[in-house]
Structure 1
Amino acid sequence: MSATVFNNRLRQILLLLVIVLLAILLLKQLYIFLPGFLGAITLYILLRENYFHLTIIKKWNKGLTALLFILASLVLIAVPVYFAIQMVTHKVSTLLNNPTAIIENAKIVGHKIESLIGIPILTDENLMTFQKKATTIVPTILNSSANILSNFAIMFFLLYFLLSNGRDVEKFLDRFIPLKEENIDLLSNETKTMIKANAIGIPILAILQGIVATIGYWIFGVSDFMLWGFLTGVCSMIPVVGTAIIWVPLTAYFFAIDRTSSGIGLLIYSLVLITNIDYVARLTILKKLINVHPLITIFGVIVGIGLFGFWGVIFGPLLISYFIILIKIYINEFGVAKDAPIT
């Protein structure tokens, strides 16, 4: 290797090192806004085909069309999230302003469980600790609300840029992705499929389970059934345990306060309807949309929530799919055929 070639390689490595270090530094400083970036990418992939159809085929104005799409996204996403946060914050504040009722109900349940298994679950010390920690819930929710609002602002700002300059961004990425054309297409198709499946499919399933749960809670006399139904829909996105995080304690509470008929009814309703509506929806209205292996979804959500927060339900499964697809691409790019002679 000549000195010139060696110097060029060294300059290349140093430049790549600087780029990587700057990328890490920027990511570290902007990590709090990562959900906003991921949300913008998600919405762009969902909206790009319709946007290009209107602006290229129909000759609509790019800026005004982008604003129209952002307004529609704001109505469909941001407004429901805002009202959900308001509802949860109000209910939690109301409960914490009257902690006596919570403590008394907790004691009833604790004594009932203790009488059944013979082991004390809730002591006075545990309840005092819970009460102290509960006072931090509302400030935490308010801080989270501010974070969510700032991420929404970043998301819609970046979405406008992506829609207005989408073609240029895609051409830029095509130039710098070091893969064969067919592998770039494979990666692109996998990204669109996974994002559409998770960004549309998972919220639809959560809404369905939330509605079914709300109806059941209303039928069997659960207090604040709207709040518990909403929380059930949210918890449906949690792998493995899902909606049981909500309806199991509610059922146990009914048994603890001797409302046995309501407890039995809610238990049967939850096992038959709340739990199984997920499978019914997957086999009917979402069959064509969600064609993702359940293990990819389960482990993807577990990984994604830890990395990306709420958006992890979309990008977690996408990461695992990327891992699998990149192995296929590596084999396609650099692999040796099985029947090739070993040298």
Structure 2
Amino acid sequence: MDDSVFNNRLRQIILLLIIILLAILLLTQLYVFLPGFLGALTLYILFREPYNKLTIIKRWNKTWTTLLFVLGSLVVIAIPIYFSVTLLTTKVSAVLTNPVELMKDAKIVGVKIHDLTGIELLTDENLAAFQKKATAIVPTILNSSANIMSNFAIMFFLLYFLLKNGRLVEKFLHNFIPLKEENINLLSSETKNMIKANAIGIPVLAIIQGIIAAIGYSIFGVKDWGLWGFLTGIFSMVPIVGTAVIWVPLTLYLFSIDKTGSAIGLLIFAVVIITNADYVARLTILKRLIDVHPLITIFGVIIGIGLFGFWGVIFGPLLISYFIILVKIYMNEFAAKSVAIEETQKD
């Protein structure tokens, strides 16, 4: 190897190291805004086809069409969040300002559990510690509100940019990715399918389970059944434990206040209907959107929530799918070539 070739490779390595270091620096500093970026990417993929139809086929003005999509998504997202926050803050504030009733109910549950199992879970010390931690949650929520609002601002700003310049961005990425055309198309197709399936399917599943749970709670005399139904829908997105986080404590509470019939009825309703509603909906709704293996969804959500927060529900399964696809692409891109080279050398 002559000096010129060596010097060129050395410069290439140094440049790559600088690029990698700068990328790591940027990612570490901008990681807090990653949810906003992922949200914009999700909305862009959902809106991409109708946006292109309106601006390319029907020749609508790009700027006004982009603003229409951004404002529409803002309304669709903001209304549920507003009602959710209003519902939760009203109840949480009532509990924190007057926790006596909650502590009284918790003590009754603790006594019943102790009588049935001999295990003392809810002592006065535990309840006092819980109340102290619960009170500390409010300042934490207030402190994180600025971060949440900034992520929303970034999400809608990036959505405007992606919609208006999406074709240029896609063209750049298409030329930048060092893969065969068929493999680039495979990555693109998998990304669109997974994001559509999770971004549409998972919220629909949560709404279905929340409504079904709320109906059950109202039938069996649970107070604030709307709030508990809403929380059941939220926790339906949590893998493995899911809705049981809500209906198991509610069932135990009904047992503890001697509403045995209602408790048994709620238990049967939860096990038979609430739990199986998720299974049936997945076989019907998600199956039509994309045939995703349940293990990919479960482990993807577990990994994704830790990495990306809420958006991990969508991008966690996508990461696992990417891993599987990239292994297939590697085999297609390089393994086949290696076998062909070895056979040629033998000949």
TM range (shorter): over 0.9
In 2, Cα distance between the equivalents of 1:130 and 1:77?
A: 32
Normalised by the size of structure 2, how large is the TM-score? 0.95
- Unaligned stretches of 5+ residues in structure 2: none
* Equivalence for 1:164: 164
CA displacement at 1:337 relative to structure 2? 7.5
* Equivalence for 1:6: 6
Is 1:28 the equivalent of 2:25? no
- On the 8 A contact 1:220/1:262 being kept in 2, the answer is yes
Q: Which moved more, 1:255-264 or 1:86-95?
A: 86-95
Q: Which moved more, 1:303-312 or 1:327-336?
A: 327-336
* Equivalence for 2:276: 276
In 2, Cα distance between the equivalents of 1:331 and 1:232?
A: 43
RMSD: 1.5
- On the 8 A contact 1:209/1:277 being kept in 2, the answer is yes
Normalised by the size of structure 1, how large is the TM-score? 0.96
In 2, Cα distance between the equivalents of 1:160 and 1:150?
A: 15
Give the % identical residues.
Answer: 73
* Equivalence for 1:100: 100
In 1, Cα distance between the equivalents of 2:78 and 2:66?
A: 17
Paired positions, count: 343
Give per-residue Cα distances to partners, 1:254-307, cap 9 Å, x unaligned: 001111111011111111211111122223344311410000000000000000
- Unaligned stretches of 5+ residues in structure 1: none
Given residue 17 of structure 1, which amino acid in structure 2 is its aligned partner?
L
Give per-residue Cα distances to partners, 1:84-107, cap 9 Å, x unaligned: 123212211111111111111111
1:1-343 alignment to 2 at 5 Å? 1-336=1-336
- On the 8 A contact 1:282/1:290 being kept in 2, the answer is no
- On the 8 A contact 2:38/2:311 being kept in 1, the answer is yes
Q: Secondary structure at the match of 1:190?
A: helix
Q: Secondary structure at the match of 2:121?
A: coil
- On the 8 A contact 2:201/2:285 being kept in 1, the answer is no
CA displacement at 1:143 relative to structure 2? 3.0
In 1, Cα distance between the equivalents of 2:256 and 2:214?
A: 21
In 2, Cα distance between the equivalents of 1:82 and 1:335?
A: 53
Q: Secondary structure at the match of 2:258?
A: coil
In 1, Cα distance between the equivalents of 2:327 and 2:285?
A: 32
Give the number of the structure whose residues are more often helix, by fraction. 2
- On the 8 A contact 2:183/2:329 being kept in 1, the answer is yes
- On the 8 A contact 2:299/2:317 being kept in 1, the answer is yes
Given residue 304 of structure 2, which amino acid in structure 1 is its aligned partner?
G
- On the 8 A contact 1:92/1:138 being kept in 2, the answer is no
In 2, Cα distance between the equivalents of 1:285 and 1:175?
A: 35
In 1, Cα distance between the equivalents of 2:26 and 2:300?
A: 25
1:27–1:205 CA distance, 2 compared to 1 (3 A): same
CA displacement at 1:79 relative to structure 2? 2.1
CA displacement at 1:62 relative to structure 2? 0.6
